[in-house]
Structure 1
Amino acid sequence: MHIDLKFRNLEAKRFSTVAGGPVNVHNNSTLTKVSKMNGRLSVNFVFSCNYEPSIGLIRIEGDLFLSDSKENIDGAIKVWERSGRKSLPTDMAEKVHNVIFSSCIVEAVILSKEVQLPAPIPTPSVSLDKKFYKDPTSDEETKSYIR
């Protein structure tokens, strides 16, 4: 199975400045159209980052092209039609959504910086904790400080 992804539309908006409280970000990918094109599965999608409180949004539209066996492509089209145009076979849906998320989240981080929104992924933080880990290259235990 081979997957190609192309962005069609990138949108980032900031509605207001970031409030002093916590900000939650909900990331979502939605398949909007699935069809067979030149022997490949063509998938239109929308990836969105919604902020709570509503300080802004990020929306990415794109096209994904999946190459696989004729049987798998035809089977995916049948599942898509039978489900009311809402789902693909589970194993294929997992791969498709993972590719969408991994590609779009990187672009969403860049877009969030451009419009001064919080990044749509958790930022690693340093915490000097009482948890220890053993460095496999030495006999010393050191404190773990990256979360």
Structure 2
Amino acid sequence: MALMGFAFTKFDATRLSSPKGKITINHDIKIEDLKYANVQGHGQTNNGLLVEFSYTISYKPSIGKIRLEGNFIDIIDNSKEVADEYKKNKEMPLELREQYYNLINSKSLVKSIFLSEQVGLPSPINMPKLKFNKPEESDDKASESPKSTKK
């Protein structure tokens, strides 16, 4: 993947009520559109795909929602064929789909953590907890360093 210009175009974070009790968090990634694009850069024209996406985090019970929208350009050799296939069938090669969804997820999740904190919603992921071991009677200080654990 030769990525050119990943950008968010919209942020929407809304808290409807205070979080209470057990909360389920769902993540939804959608490719909203995929089009062929001629990209000028470094004195040459490249064939690419303009990918438009949305990323939504919903909470159950319905205490709020986070929605991000954005786009990026991927420079690939067979961009015209991929764009034509997507236009006809709304399908793309599995390898591209995995790369795109992972890219969208990693970029959007970081932004969603920040947005959830700003509006008072639970973090969309469980953050690792640091746990300290009690130091032993020896001079070995290694046991004093924090250990990351997941819940």
Q: Which band: TM-score by shorter chain?
A: 0.7 to 0.9
Structure 2 gaps, min length 5 = 39-46, 133-139
Inter-partner Cα distance in structure 2 for 1:75 and 1:98: 22
Aligned to 1:28: 28
Pairwise CA RMSD: 2.3
Provide the secondary structure at the position in 2 that maps to 1:122: coil
1:41 to 49, 73, 78: 49
Aligned-pair CA distance for 1:37: 1.3
CA distance in 2, matches of 1:53, 1:22: 8
**Do structure 1's residue 98 and structure 2's residue 106 form an aligned pair?**
no
CA contact (8 A) 1:79 1:89 kept: no
TM-score (norm 2): 0.78
**How far has the Cα of 1:145 moved from its partner?**
5.6
Which letter maps to 1:95? Q
The unaligned stretches of length 5 or more in structure 1 are 129-137
The amino acid that maps onto 1:67 is I
Identity %: 26
Q: Would you tell me which structure has more strand in proportion to its own residues?
A: 2
Deviation of residue 122 (structure 1)?
Answer: 1.4
Query: How far apart are the structure 2 equivalents of 1:25 and 1:18?
Result: 12
Give the whole-Å Cα distance in 1 for the aligned partners of 2:147 and 2:36: 49
- Normalising by structure 1, we get a TM-score of 0.80
1:7 deviates by 0.3
Q: 1:10-25 residue pairs with structure 2 within 5 A? A: 10-19=11-20, 21-25=21-25
Q: State how many pairs are aligned.
A: 132
- 3-state secondary structure, aligned to 1:63: strand
